[in-house]
Amino acid sequence: MIREFLVWLQDQWGKGAGDTAQSWSQQLLGSLNLWGLVEGTHLLSLMLFAGTILFVDLRLIGATFQRTPVSVLSRRILPMTVFGFGFMVITGAALFFAKPLFYYHNIWFRAKLIFLALALVNIVIFHLRAHRNQQVWDLLPKPPTETRILAAISLASWLLVIILGRFMAYSWFDCGKPIPHWVNLVQECKTSEHGAVDASAMAAIGGTGS
């Protein structure tokens, strides 16, 4: 059901009459200037978000700015973090809209979503547990262990989100190429337009042929 919706989103939504008509998704992908602007804005907003949240997480871990109250650092930096995150989500959604089927069948994108969900859940847990008692440990050089663990999870999660997002640019595991069986399963390559090619099966055929 999800893939059928994405096929419609990529190939049909907004498509006019005529053989040369394109959907809105195809128009965005084919627009060099607009696509470049969206992609560039996404990278800049990612840098702003990641850079500011790095300062906050390192302070919560107790690694930097130990003499600065957490509340002071948060008050000055978090507005920029929220601003960066907002633009990152908007531009990220636009990038997905331009190539929904590519991302749907991409193992790096699927892994990225998992760690993105983990990072967001971690934020909720932090506000429900650690943030309630912030006035107690606000001035401490090192916050309590639970707070430091949550900050470390946040730091690791966002780092993995960035790394996995970068890996999406590489075609190592594209559907239609000889790739491990489990990757074909995870990416649902069998339902993609390129199909699933099992690397082990290809190796076995090659060995038999020789």
Choose between 9 and 19: higher pLDDT: 9
The domain total for the chain is: 2
pLDDT given for residue 86 in this prediction = 92
Q: Are residues 132 and 203 in the same domain?
A: no
Mean pLDDT across 136-158: 91
Average pLDDT over residues 23-46: 88
Domain that holds residue 112: 2-6+22-165
For 93-132, letters b (16+ CB in 10 Å) and e give: ebbbbbbbbbbbbbbbbebbeebbebbeebbeebeeebee
Helix (H) or strand (E) holding 198: strand 197-198
Q: Are residues 39 and 108 in the same domain?
A: yes
Average pLDDT, the chain: 88
The whole-angstrom separation of Cα 47 and Cα 54 is 10
Phi, psi (deg, nearest 5) at residue 178: -65, 105
Q: Looking at the structure, do residues 210 and 158 belong to the same domain, yes or no?
A: no
pLDDT for 156-192, tens place per residue?
999 999 999 989 988 888 988 998 999 999 999 998 8
Q: Residue 204: pLDDT above 70?
A: no
User: Are residues 83 and 131 both part of a single domain?
Assistant: yes
Pair (121, 66) in one structural domain = yes
What is the rounded distance in angstroms from the CA atom of residue 93 to the CA atom of residue 19?
28
pLDDT value, residue 202: 63
Whether 147 and 202 map to the same domain: the answer is no
Q: What is the pLDDT of residue 203?
A: 62
Is residue 108 pLDDT above 90, yes or no? yes
Please report, for residues 129, 134, 142, 161, the alpha-carbon distance to residue 125 in angstroms, rounded to integers and kept in the order given: 6, 14, 19, 19
pLDDT top residue among 208 and 93? 93
pLDDT digits (tens, 9 = 90+) for 38-97: 988 999 998 999 889 988 999 999 888 888 888 898 889 989 999 999 999 999 999 999
In sequence order, the β-bridge partners of residue 197 are 178
Alpha helix (H) ranges present in 126-144? 134-137
* pLDDT band per the 50, 70, 90 thresholds, residue 131: confident
Confidence (pLDDT) at 153? 94
The answer to whether residues 104 and 41 belong to one domain is: yes
